[in-house]
Chain A
Amino acid sequence: MEIPLLKIEDFLIVSFQTELSDDEIDKLREDILDKIKETNARGLIIDITALKIVDSFMARSLSSIATTATLLGAKTVVVGMQPAVALTLVELGLRIKWNIQTALNLERGINLLREALKSEKDVVYE
């Protein structure tokens, strides 16, 4: 199943539309990472607006995609979490390492990334 990766300016956007299996997520991770390298994307936005359920497996998957993307130089934001999902994840327990930046929607996600990138420009590495 093809999951579209959109490029907006220097950000990549991927929308999780349906339930994904283990293999599909692995493939998606590869595709995303390839695309980040290919386009030099500075940010990755994962849109989970359509996901009615995020279990511990999906949470781990999102976390690993985010971590790897960051290593490749693209800051990651997850947007569009449904309220029921947010509450369930919290109740599921904090042992799921949820260290991903989140934003309410696409627009906020983009703003967040912009801010993060802007503040980075001010830091000078010797």
Chain B
Amino acid sequence: MSEDKLPVKNESDIIFVRSFGRNLAANAGFGIVDQCRITTAISELARNAVVHGGGGSVTIKTIQNDKKGIEIICSDEGPGIVNLELALKGGYSTVGGLGIGLSGAKRLMDEFQITSGAGKGTTVIIRKWLK
């Protein structure tokens, strides 16, 4: 199992972490469409961290219980999300579509957890399992 904490502070970081995620997913045995879903979800979260969170970091690793899977943790120390429910419904109309990214990532993955609060930064954990 490999784990790496990667910075996401700018555009090229976003591009890097999704490449990294794609490779890990491919090696773990995910098919092409799942690789696309995972990479896209990573991209959404990473972009949120850069655009709304003032930069953050991403951890991508393979995980195992009775099946193999992939887990991504994206966190930033930004202003946080005040109304999580609204954000997840895609209700935020801020520039850059914070809500779209979050609800999108949720739809693409099997598991989605988010912790956030005003002034407390945001941490999102997503997981996908091999079937």
Mark A residues whose CB is within 8 Å of B.
19, 21-23, 52-57, 60, 82-85, 87-88, 91-93, 95-96
Contacts and interface: CB of A to CB of B under 8 A. Distances in A.
B103 interface: yes
Given A92-B40, A95-B90, A56 B107 contact: no
B90 A93 contact: yes
24 contacts: A21-B11, A23-B11, A52-B22, A52-B39, A53-B18, A53-B36, A53-B39, A54-B40, A55-B40, A57-B47, A83-B33, A84-B33, A84-B36, A88-B36, A88-B37, A88-B108, A91-B37, A92-B40, A92-B108, A93-B100, A93-B104, A93-B107, A95-B97, A95-B103
Contacts of B47: 55, 57
Contacts of A84: 32-33, 35-36
A87 B100 contact: no
A57 B44 CA distance: 8
Contacts of B44: 55-56, 92
Nearest to B97: A56
B43 A55 contact: yes
Contact of B100 (A23, A53, A56, A83): A56
Contacts of B96: 57
B12 A85 contact: no
Chain B CB within 10 Å, residue with most, of A53, A60, A87, A93: A53
Contacts of A82: 36
Given A21-B11, A92-B107, A93-B107, A53 B33 contact: no
Contacts of A53: 18, 22, 36, 39-40, 43
Interface in B76-109: 90, 96-97, 99-101, 103-104, 107-108
B114 interface: no
Contacts of B33: 83-84, 87-88
Interface string B15-52: 10010001000000000110111011001100100000
Nearest to B50: A22
A91 B108 contact: yes
A21 B11 CA distance: 6
A57 to B, nearest CB: 6
A52 B22 CA distance: 10
A21 B9 CA distance: 13
